Chain A
Amino acid sequence: MSKLKIASYWAAACGGCDVAILDIHEKIIDVANIADIVFWPVATDFKEKDVEGYPDGYIDVTLFHGAIRNSENEHYARLLRRKSKILVAFGSCATMGGVPGLANFKNRDGILARVYLESPSTQNKEQVLPQTRVEVPEGELELPYFYEEVKTLADVVDVDYFMPGCPPAPHQIWAVLQVLASGNLPPKGAVVGASDKALCDECQRVKTEKKVKKFYRPHEIIPDPQKCLLEQGIVCMGPVTRGGCSAQCTGANMPCRGCYGPLDGVVDQGAKYISALASIVDANTSEEAEQIIGQIVDPAGTFYRFGLPGSLLRRARNV
């Protein structure tokens, strides 16, 4: 059997997905036995023109991390789609926008002004903002266009598989690579490398009854290390988040923030969480319910921490 050709690319990303691939540790040697890397900016020196020179469909599998934030991200999404037989949206950013998707609570002008004009560490007396084209004495330079909003990979190209996680768990990455190498492929559009049950299913904490009278911020409570965080009044996205991560965060006394995204059949993870909260808030009157819910600081930024661009909301309006 000829070796697989694989690529890994980051768009609006942090590189954590690439490090997660390396976190399969010595199995990376097994990957080298079954696959040749043909593009991977963090680790290899292939350039854009190398990829453009490949025939269409040349790459067997591309793991695409990162959200679509600017025109260069979209260019690479289209280029790698054309060059790849299988395109995997890899990680929370590619699947649903991820942390960079929090920018959809803001707008383009506000972001550019804050970063290039207003931030305390910036000196920019000429008020220069990035331009897509600029003339320099030696010629012309180009920069990508910064979009008004963050998009998911599937917003701009056809995606074969979705692998959630911020980052995806290394044991899941290894399992998915083996499946892709076997040729025994899951149905197109499948979520791979994750559970089809909620995070709570693999969370080891003891769950009894969810009745919440008060929501706490970290400085207001020392959580019981054995009990369900949500039952203790700590906002945890576990009930509405796909498992598969081995519940590492809740195992470390940190509440889930939803990076594995919604479960099958759920279109909006944040809305699902609002629905879940409605059933656990222990209130006798609507005023009391409002008072309890009001203790949750920044519900939108918490319930849509990783998935605003891929949600029904997509973005805040009139910001």
Chain B
Amino acid sequence: MKLYDYILSPSCYKVRLMAALTGIPLKIRPVDFHPGGEHRKAELLALNPAGSIPILEDGDLVLTESSAMLVYLSMKTAPKWLGDGTAEQAARVQQWLSFSHRLTANLGGARLHEMLHRPGDIAVLQAHGIAALRELEAGLVEQGLRGKSFLASDRPTIADIACFPYVALAPDGGVLLDPYPAIRLWSRAIRALDGFIEMPGIHRLHELKPDPSIAAGEE
């Protein structure tokens, strides 16, 4: 499987993260998104006329939507990431996958504007991003009251992976995460998963590794 990838793209990171969590090896083909604009040049437009990344190639199959890639990776090797098979969980997964596309537009748009000079109405993007974070916070609170720590289930699904990157990187676009305790706990739970990998802007949880040398007086 070959992933056309940009290291700073949260959408590409969704796929890299999913592959790491499920142990699927990916061949990475780096795309010079910035400053080169390679995603909009002839070679990649031929593969994906939408001019977006990520693009996933597996033999003859070419996928251009990150949600589809998440579904593909889980169905191939780790179907538990799709939910427990019930209609309710499948629907919840779809609900949050659709929601995740709004995050790309609002939180992602704010980030591209604040960091990489892309055009946009920053006040509107941030306001929409805040509204989305509030929905996510309320959703996580309610899941918690149902005894579930993840968006669709009591274990992580592709719904969590689809939402996590843009949420974790919201501060890049000037949207702080301070007011959302449930999102903070959920984000920690994802970052503590076996096989979790970071992307630039999401740093390692150093607390997961014990202090390499304990100084006197610390205990």
B and A form one assembly? no
